[in-house]
Amino acid sequence: MNGDGTAAPRLRLTYRDAVREAIRDALTRDERVFLMGEDVGRYGGCYAVSKGLLAEFGEDRIRDTPLSESAFVGAGIGAALNGMRPIVEVMTVNFSLLALDQIVNNAATIPHMSGGQFAVPLVIRMATGSGRQLAAQHSHSLEGWYAHIPGLKILAPATLEDARGMLWTAIEDPNPVLIFENVQLYDMEGELPADAGPVDITRAAIRREGKHASVVTFGGSVPKAVAAAETLAGEGVDVEVVDLRSLRPLDDATIMASVAKTHRVLVVDEGWRSGGLSAEVSARINEQVFYELDAPVARLAGVEVPIPYPKHLEDASVPQADTIAAALREMVGRR
Amino acid sequence: MTGTDEKVHLTREHCLDLLRQMVRIRRFEEKCAELYSGQKIRGFLHLYIGEEAVAAGTMQALKPDDAVVATYREHGHALARGLAMGPVMAEMYGKVNGASRGRGGSMHIFDRGKRFLGGNAIVGGGLPLAVGLALADKMQGRDRVTACFFGEGAVAEGEFHESLNLAALWKLPVLFLCENNLYAMGTALDRSESQTDIHLKAASYNLPSRQVDGMDVVAVEGAAREAAASVRRGAGPFFLEFRTYRFRAHSMFDAQLYREKEEVEQWKENDPIPRFADWAQQADLLHPADKEAIEASVQAELAEAVAFAEAGAWEPVEDLQKFVTMDEVPA
């Protein structure tokens, strides 16, 4: 609502536009903020997220970097240690492995290892996930790995509102925050109020209310889970969809409240099953609300395979709306 | 006498300071070895003995608001940077009155006030940090230098090449200080590098690069002052390779199977401390009594540091997870 009591006009935009608006907003709000990464400037971003920002903010604040993930991510950490609020874009999570040393050994350790003398208020954004036929070195979902690391905060915006709102909150956080943008979401269209702004980054969200079963998921699987829930609704099964939003720390309270309400839960994760985030969520549910369960916790995760190129094999590698629906039917005993 | 002067001024007072800094490091390290044997210090312990001239000389070229990024062999850097000996020793013990609350130990000394951003125990891992610290200074228009120490072992790491390139490309105020002690742990330079002339590698990134006798504290200081002045003029990063040698083993677990005793003895003849002391005495800058006076004051400082560490408390286990995530950015 605006001050005069009228609702702000609504804008039609894509997830990509929402991320761009978030970056523009952050650059405008705080002169310590700058964006750096491969091809974020002249090229406009591999996924066109930063298109136009170079012209608007100049080369000092929209920095094209060499293909040196370790150096420019480490430079982001150093700049954060020295008063800046950098946004580092890593083209995809797959490339971020070249910067793993800096993220895990420096960003995640320095505050604790220095006895609290230094903080690393850094945001690293990266694309993640499959769905664009980019094969095994561009399509993996490794955010679950990062969620293993104490000292990091891990976010997975799955809606336009979160794509627009999580960034500023992450920048204001005194810790290194990694934001994972699923590549299947960039083209997602929707509406946002023109005055959309920062959002909380600590709580999971209920994307669809239901009473027969819960799906707990995040990122690119959220729209798929919602679609599956709509399908099931037509079959008389009322499914609740929990969007984790923050993968570290996890909002246990929201997850457990949903399980306590529906008594059946399916955890959906595009990442691989073994040792993955779905295993962590499942274990927590069993530890915390075991006696609320009417059925074993079920998991639907990525097939344990390097994501292949052909469309039909790629699609078969990760959860889809129809496989989520099938898993739900099985869980509630309707095949 | 730290500061921005481009030339070394070898007054008697300055000579006393250089000698004192080197002796402080030498005696501190010897005490650490002793305390390690007595199990007061655990974990890895990498001694700087033999390389004192590099830390003592380079720090002369830095101002208080410059930043230092160091390696896991960083006790000498920390002391020469001006950290009090007590908290450095307490850090060795792992006590809460240590420089990093005891969290890091020998390899991870931090001091916000001295802008000392750590011992980094990943070889090459500090270079990108230094680039970023310097980037922030440049973007905010601050007249500061970031001094980044690393060994010649780091030259084989990708982070070395990525960082030199980025710093030179963006003309960032980084002073790259390579301590070439000829061995990456047990691997000799000529067994790990196709080009053993390290300063030539650096020069290929289009930044000024020089090789310096790291056993000569005056030469080190002179080179560091000149390099720092160039960086402060906005000319971008500067690279110095110091040829030096560690007299002791890599760590306390090293049987030194990879080098000959004769080689070690030969380098010890070039020990930076007597070399400088004798020279300064011959030049009438130091008197014979000065050495004893410095030794006595360092012994007193050391005794106090050990007492400080001994008296320190252990961090309560309840605070184990404190600072894993921060509630605010320290002012």
Q: Which DSSP string corresponds to B197-247? A: -HHHHHHTTSS-EEEEETT-HHHHHHHHHHHHHHHHTT---EEEEEE---S
- The whole-number average pLDDT for the span A133-148 is 95
Residues on chain A touching B99 (C-beta within 8 angstroms)? 115
Looking at the annotation, which residues of A are catalytic? 69, 138
Best interface-test mutation with A: which of B109, B135, B150, B172 has the largest number of A CBs within 10 A?
B135
* Residue B302, both tokens: 């050391």
In angstroms, what separates the C-alpha of A303 from chain B's closest C-alpha?
33
Confidence of residue A60 (pLDDT cuts 50, 70, 90): very high
CATH number at residue B289: 3.40.50.970
What is the rounded CA–CA span in Å between residue B232 and residue B235? 7
Of A243, A241, A232, A262, whose CA–CA distance to A330 is shortest?
A232
**Structure confidence at residue A1 (pLDDT):** 46
In angstroms, what separates the C-alpha of B321 from chain A's closest C-alpha?
8
DSSP code of B264?
H
Q: Work out how many domains chain B is built from and give that number.
A: 1
Q: CB-based contact (8 Å) between A101 and chain B?
A: yes
Q: CB-based contact (8 Å) between A82 and chain B?
A: yes
In a domain, B320, yes or no: no
In a domain, B3, yes or no: no
Contact B323 A111 (CB under 8 A): yes
C-alpha distances in angstroms, A281 versus A7, A244, A273?
A: 38, 10, 11
**Structure confidence at residue B234 (pLDDT):** 95
The shares of helix, strand and coil residues in chain B, as percent rounded to the nearest 5, are 45, 10, 40
Rg of the Cα atoms in chain A: 20
In a domain, B316, yes or no: no
DSSP code of B255?
-
What is the rounded CA–CA span in Å between residue B148 and residue B74? 11
Instruction: Write out the residue range of the structural domain in which residue B77 sits.
Output: 12-311
In a domain, B39, yes or no: yes
* Residue A63, both tokens: 């920095």
Report pTM.
0.96
Give, for all 331 residues of chain B, the pLDDT tens digit.
Answer: 466 788 999 999 999 999 999 999 999 999 999 999 999 999 999 999 999 999 999 999 999 999 999 999 999 999 999 999 999 999 999 999 999 999 999 999 999 999 999 999 999 999 999 999 999 999 999 999 999 999 999 999 999 999 999 999 999 999 999 999 999 999 999 999 999 999 999 999 999 999 999 999 999 999 999 999 999 999 999 999 999 999 999 888 888 999 999 999 999 999 999 999 999 999 999 999 999 999 999 999 999 999 999 999 999 999 999 999 999 999 8
Strand partners, B113: none
C-alpha distances in angstroms, A323 versus A183, A225, A231, A276?
A: 20, 10, 12, 19
- The whole-number average pLDDT for the span A264-277 is 97
Q: Domains (ranges, CATH) in chain A?
A: 10-193 (3.40.50.970), 205-332 (3.40.50.920)
Residues on chain A touching B176 (C-beta within 8 angstroms)? none
Q: Buried b / exposed e across A70-94, counting CB within 10 Å, b at 16+?
A: bbbbbbbbbbbbbebbbbbbbbbbb
In angstroms, what separates the C-alpha of A133 from chain B's closest C-alpha?
30
**Structure confidence at residue B5 (pLDDT):** 81
Confidence of residue A3 (pLDDT cuts 50, 70, 90): low
* Residue A224, both tokens: 């798929």
Q: CB-based contact (8 Å) between A256 and chain B?
A: no
In a domain, B232, yes or no: yes
C-alpha distances in angstroms, A102 versus A73, A96, B121, B193, B229?
A: 7, 10, 12, 24, 30
Q: In which element (H, E) is residue B183 found? A: strand B183-184
**Structure confidence at residue A139 (pLDDT):** 93
Q: In which element (H, E) is residue B91 found? A: helix B85-93
All residues at 6 or more sequence positions from A291 whose CB lies less than 8 Å from its CB, including other chains? none
**Model confidence at A189: pLDDT above 60:** yes
Computed over every residue of chain A, the mean pLDDT equals 96
**Model confidence at A2: pLDDT above 60:** no
In a domain, B189, yes or no: yes
Phi, psi for A306 (deg, rounded to 5): -65, 130
For Cα atoms B278, B283, B284, give the angle at the middle one, nearest 5 degrees: 95
What is the rounded CA–CA span in Å between residue B207 and residue B209? 6
In a domain, B4, yes or no: no
* Residue A85, both tokens: 């609020």
Per DSSP, the three-state class of A252 is: helix
Q: CB-based contact (8 Å) between A179 and chain B?
A: no
Locate tokens 């990694």: which residue?
A178
Contact B326 A111 (CB under 8 A): yes
Residues on chain B touching A38 (C-beta within 8 angstroms)? none
Contact A174 B329 (CB under 8 A): yes
Residues on chain B touching A71 (C-beta within 8 angstroms)? 127-128, 131, 159, 162-163, 165-166
Amino acid at A136: A
In a domain, B328, yes or no: no
Per DSSP, the three-state class of A121 is: coil
